[in-house]
Structure 1
Amino acid sequence: MKLIYEAANSIEAHLILNLLEQSHLSARIDGEYLQGGVGDLQAIGIVRVMVDEADYDAAKEIVDHWDASQPEPDATNQISAPGYPLLLPGVIGFVLGVIVTLLLIA
């Protein structure tokens, strides 16, 4: 077996595997179950799609076509994490909670 694709995760690996199987090429996924140990293992190159050496050229063409058809990441379309606007209501809620608690105790 020969390495044809290093996937970012098992979902991407299964997409490639299914593309290859649709073309009747023999392939398998290696390292899929190692993702649970990412804290102890390197995070890149764990999940790999392997193909028979005889099918490598045909598989390479399929993977290259799939890879070329994927859109480039768009930085303007990324979901951003909320910042300080959510901090203010949290602080106000905390202060009001302390005030109400002190009023109930007194």
Structure 2
Amino acid sequence: MQIAYNARDLTEAHIIAGLLGAHGISAHVGGHYLQGGLGEIGAAGFTNVQVDEDDYLEARRLIAEYEGAATEDGRSVPPVNDAGEFYARWFLLLLLAVAVGFVLTL
């Protein structure tokens, strides 16, 4: 099996797997148990969609169509700005700064 898509989260991975399944491509979503590794913070980047090597090129073509969903005039839709991921990164940075400050006071 090859990784056809690295998803931001579990939901997106299942959307892609469903898209591929609708076109007759068997897909496996990996990374289910890694999502809770950071507690309630929405962990990102741990999930992927895997397909058989024979289906890899067709899967990548379908995913490319999905990612570049065109408007009526043929221009690509700009990607959605994920503010949640932005705030999660700043929260983790703040948490790290507090931890370093705590260790330095010991």
Question: TM-score, normalized by length of structure 1?
Answer: 0.61
Residues 64 and 46 of structure 1: is their aligned pair in 2 closer, same or farther, counting only changes over 3 Å? same
Following the alignment from structure 1 to structure 2, what is the Cα–Cα distance between the partners of residues 54 and 60? 12
Aligned to 2:8: 8
Asked whether 1:48 is paired with 2:54, we answer no
* Partner in structure 1 of residue 98 of structure 2: none
Q: How does 1:54-69 map to 2 (within 5 A)?
A: 54-69=54-69
CA distance in 2, matches of 1:26, 1:13: 13
Q: How does 1:78-89 map onto structure 2 within 5 Å?
A: none
* Alignment: residue pair count: 73
Over 3 Å counting, the alpha-carbon distance change for 1:51 and 1:71 in structure 2 is same
CA contact (8 A) 2:35 2:44 kept: no
What does residue 29 of structure 1 align with?
Answer: 29
Specify every segment of 5 or more residues in structure 2 that has no aligned partner in the other structure, as ranges.
Answer: 70-75, 84-106
Tell me how large the CA RMSD over aligned residues is.
Answer: 2.2
Q: Deviation at 1:44?
A: 4.8
State the one-letter code of the partner of 1:71.
V
Partners in 2 of 1:9 and 1:67 — Cα distance? 15
Work out the percentage of aligned pairs sharing the same amino acid: 38
TM-score where L is the length of structure 2: 0.61
Distance 1:24 1:73 in 2: 27
Which one has a bigger Cα radius of gyration? Answer: 1
Kindly indicate whether residue 14 of structure 2 is the aligned counterpart of residue 18 of structure 1. no
